[in-house]
Structures are given as C-alpha cells and as structure tokens.
Amino acid sequence: MADRTRRGVLAAAASLPLLAVSGCKGVGALAPPPRPGPDVRVLRAAIAAEEAMIARYGTAITRFPGLAKTLAGLRAEHRLHLAELRTRLVIPPGSPYRSGFTSPSPRPAGSPGAAAALPAGQAAALDFLQTAEDSAAAALLRGLPSVPPSLAQLLASVAASESTHVAVLRSAAG
Amino acid sequence: MSGTAVGPGTVSALQAALAAEHAAVYGYGVAGAYLDGPARTAATADWYAHQVARDTLEAMLRQAGAKPVAAAPAYQLPHKVNGPVSATALAVLLENRVTAAYLGVVAVSDLAVRQFGARAMAAAAGRAASWRGRTVAFPGFPPSAFS
C-alpha cells in the first residue's frame, strides 16, 4: 500500500507541469514548470545505470561465450531491477522532463556504445564489470537520503544485489 | 547518532536488527558444529561478523538512550540440523532474516542510520549468496514481493 501511494505521489509530481498548463489560461502566464524532485532524479539515474549494466553484460555475453551462463544470470537480475525501478516512476507523455531518461529499451547488446564501454580482453572485462557493479551500488547508496522510505528500501536491496554480483565476477575471473 | 535525535521508529528497527543478529550468533554456533573445512572456516568468520554487528547495534541503541534487547537463552531452529546440508540451509536462512531486518533499518528517517542499514544489508546479502551458491535480485524482500 505504501509503495502504491508513493508511486502515485511520484507520478503526480512529474505531471504537475502538464496539469498546470491544461488548467490555466496559457503557458505564457505560468512560471517555469518545477524541476523534478531529488527522488525523481535518483530514480532516473538508477534506471539509466541499470540500462547501462544490461548493455555491458550483453556485450560481454556475446564476446565471452564461456562465461555466458554466469553473466546471463547477473544480467537477468539487472533486468528485474530495471523493471521494478521503472514501475516507481510514471512520467506522463508530453511532460517536458520525459525525454532523455526513460529509454523504451536498453541499448542493444553489441552496439558500438556498449562495446566501447567494455575492455576487449576477458580478464579486463570482468574487472571492468566488477568496478561498474561496485560503482552502481555505491551510487544507489548515495541516493538514499533523497528518497522516501519505500524507495530507499528498493534502492538498498538493488545495491545489495549488485554488491553480490561483484563476488560472482571475482570468482569467474579466477 | 544522539539520544535526542533518534525517534521511536529508528529504535524499533535497530532492536529488530539486533534480535536478528542475536539469533544469527546462536544459529551459526549450531551450524558451524556440522561443517568442516572451508565451510567451517566461513561459518566461523560469519559468526564473528554477527557478533561485531550485534555489539555495534547495542552501542547504537545505548547511545540512543534505549536498552538493547537481550538474546534469548535458546532459539527454536527452523529445521533439524544434523549435517552439512541442513547446516548450510540454516546459514542461508539466518542471513536472509538478518538482511530482512536491516531492510527495516533502511526505512527509518535518520539518514545516517539508513546508510548503516544499507551497508549491513549488503554484507548479509553477500554472506547469504555465498552460502546459497547464487545471488538474488532483491535481497531482504520476500521472493514474492515483486512477482
């Protein structure tokens, strides 16, 4: 119940500019729409980070088939993280803050951008992924003060999951 | 953390985490007796980790002006422990419960305590994954939470 209520609040906050525009005389009479709150910004960053991790794992799975089973398992958990994070933020179509932070799908595995983010060799790639997981978890923890309790719990859980990924990657690296 | 800045919700969450740590200290004492070799070594290390966490929580609660909840004289085990498999299952369960308890700490309004809870969650989730042999997407939450 608390989560549902909070989701409603986040969605309402994101839609404020639209409501203001539709309920008043014109855009010119309005002050600039309020910027998204800190909790929305934390969510945006978390969503973007998950998308980037999924892309990196996609590249790694393609390049290193011998590690595919292990890496696919970790990627599957990132996909679950991403799906849940996206449910916490509803941005109405047409919102001035919609674009640029909720891409409809992760960058395709093996795309030039994703490949550029991953070193070529297996050992270096595993090391890179460890660092990326560690950094992602740390970023989530930095966001905890800015979000309401139910979202803090989700972020902390995702961060804990990503911390466990580091150990798996370290083991895979031998 | 000071005694005046900590609300009852924070104290309650810390007490719940402390109760989980007490149970973990007891449980690892049982599980370790049925493990050998590296597993025994890991159980001993985790047993010590829970003792340190217990002491930390007790100190935090005293600093907040609260009386730390005491350990029970004994705990009813969730299943019979009579060998390495059941001992390992007990370790997983203990860590899952500790992780869930710290999830409650993450929800408090005191931001320093919230960060402390998140770090403790990560540590417990790591130990749970090690005993379980695999990771999970949402440590601390019940498996059905996001299905």
Walk along chain A (174 residues) in steps of 10 and give the mean pLDDT of each run.
47 45 53 78 95 95 95 98 93 62 46 64 95 96 95 98 97 90
* Cα pseudo-dihedral A111, A115, A121, A123, rounded to 10: -110
Confidence of residue B4 (pLDDT cuts 50, 70, 90): very low
pLDDT at A117: 73
Q: Which residue of B has its CA nearest to A163?
A: B122
CA pseudo-torsion sign A55, A59, A60, A66: positive
Q: Confirm or reject contact between B86 and chain A (CB < 8 A).
A: no
Q: What is the mean pLDDT of residues B7-35?
A: 96
At residue B81, the pLDDT reads: 95
Residue ranges making up the domain that contains A162: 37-94+104-173
User: Residue A7 falls within a domain, yes or no?
Assistant: no
Name the residue type at position B1.
M
Q: Please indicate if any CB of chain A lies within 8 Å of the CB of B115.
A: yes
Binding-site residues on chain A for chain B (CB distance < 8 A): 73-74, 76-77, 80-81, 83-84, 137, 141, 144-145, 149-150, 152-161, 163-165, 167-168
User: Would A128 be classed as within a structural domain?
Assistant: yes
Number of domains in chain A: 1
Contacts of B130 in chain A (CB under 8 A): 167
Instruction: Determine contact: B10 vs chain A, CB below 8 A.
Output: no
Q: Does residue A165 lie in a domain region?
A: yes
CB B109 within 8 A of CB B7: yes
Kindly report, residue by residue over A120-167, the tens digit of the pLDDT: 899 999 999 999 999 999 999 999 999 999 999 999 999 999 999 999
Residues 12-31 of B with CB under 8 A from A: none
Tell me if A8 is assigned to some domain: no
Chain A CB contacts of B42 under 8 Å are: none
Close Cβ partners of B42 (under 8 Å, ≥ 6 residues apart): B35, B130, B131
What values do phi and psi take at B65, rounded to 5? 85, 15
**Which among A156, A158, A165 is the nearest to B117, CB-wise?**
A156
Write down the pLDDT at residue B6: 74
Question: Which residue ranges form the domains of chain B, and what is each CATH number?
Answer: 8-63+76-132 (1.20.1260.10)
Whether the CB-CB separation of A34 and A92 falls below 8 Å is answered with: no
Mutate to test the interface with B, among A77, A153, A154, A165 (most CBs of B within 10 A): A153
With CB atoms and an 8 Å threshold, state whether A156 touches B126.
no
> What's the pLDDT score for residue A91?
72
Which pLDDT score is estimated for A90? 73
Tell the residue number behind the tokens 């799906």, with chain if given: A83
Q: Confirm whether A5 is domain-assigned.
A: no
The predicted pLDDT at position A84 comes to 97
Average pLDDT, chain B: 94
Rounded Cα–Cα distance for residues A138 and A146 (Å)? 14
Of A77, A81, A160, the CB nearest to B122: A160
Q: What is the CATH number of the domain that holds A131?
A: 1.20.1260.10
* Residue A6 in domain: no
Q: Does residue A2 belong to any structural domain of this protein?
A: no
Look at B80 and B4; give whichever has higher pLDDT.
B80
What pLDDT was estimated at residue A96? 63
In this prediction, residue A29 carries a pLDDT of 62
